[in-house]
Copies of this chain bind each other. A is one copy, B any other.
Amino acid sequence: MEVLMKEGKLVYVNGLLLEAEQAYVGIEDLALNRGYGVFDFFRVRDGVPLFMEAHLHRLQHSARQMHLTLQLNDEQLSQLVHHLIAQNACKDCGIKILVTGGISANGYSLGSSPNVVISTHELPPQNPAHYTSGLRLITHEYRRDLPAVKTINYLMGIWLQPMVTQAGADDVLYCWQGEVHECPRSNIFIVSRSGEVFTPVHGVLHGITRRHVLNLSRHRYPTHDTEVTRDMLYDAAEIFVTSTTKRIAPVVSIDGDPVGNGQPGPITRQLMDDLQQFEWQYLEERRP
């Protein structure tokens, strides 16, 4: 969840810095008309874009996978991001880089050059209840198209929102043919009763936070990125999700049934501490 920074702030659109209120994309854009585009999103803390290299690397991968010819390399994107952080005096915020299908000559075929929008976003304070009380998830039988690519296709996630609310839940967990995949905007981790840590490897976006948590977890616990079945979900001692904005958030119920004792567990809390520490170390090394 993020809110576009507007008053007096700038947005990069195809080589121009525009005032945020007046930043527009033409109505022929393929994202607008055909839902075709990719993006990435990362946080800025104390003026330092967190793990930007990894996010830019993934953005380039997403664009290539979608046959989009992004004309900007990582260094150019990085310079634009730093320039925007300085211009918008954006010490702690989110950065979104959107790469759309561009203008299509016939409303369907890919254009020759994508539209690129880089914008700064306020990150509302996370709901503290999610960290102490934890998240409630419901499951839904679904597999995203091209799950390993960070496309703009969130049709199902948004469409399911009223259903999530009605169930008194916080988010939905996509499962597919007996396997656990992911939430619309976060990866899932499962801690077994024997204290092993699992995260699905198939049908998921390979999150940057997911990768960090996997590495941190490997230093402490038997850790596996592998196939995860629904049975493992219902048998879990602890469950948590990871994302750039949430970092680690404990999950306390699935489809109304409590996870473990219904409280955030010790391994989840340990990895939350480890991730904080890891982020802090990254920041210390790069602080101006």
Contacts and interface: CB of A to CB of B under 8 A. Distances in A.
Interface of A: 1-4, 11, 13, 23-37, 39, 66-67, 96, 98, 100-101, 105-110, 117, 119, 121, 124, 142, 145-146, 151-159, 161-162, 185
Q: How many copies of this chain are found per oligomer?
A: 2
A124 B156 CA distance: 33
Given A11-B27, A27-B117, A27-B119, A36 B107 contact: no
Nearest to A27: B23
Contact of A31 (B32, B96, B124, B156): B32
B119 A106 contact: no
B34 A161 contact: no
Contact of A146 (B3, B110, B145, B155): B155
Given A2-B106, A36-B158, 5 more contacts: A31-B31, A32-B152, A96-B107, A145-B159, A146-B156
A98 B151 contact: no
Nearest to A122: B106
Contacts of A145: 142, 145, 155-156, 159
A152 B104 CA distance: 14
A25 B24 CA distance: 5
Nearest to A124: B106
B98 A35 contact: no
A1 to B, nearest CB: 4
17 contacts: A1-B109, A3-B106, A24-B26, A25-B25, A25-B27, A25-B32, A27-B98, A31-B35, A32-B37, A32-B100, A34-B153, A35-B37, A35-B153, A36-B158, A107-B121, A109-B161, A153-B155
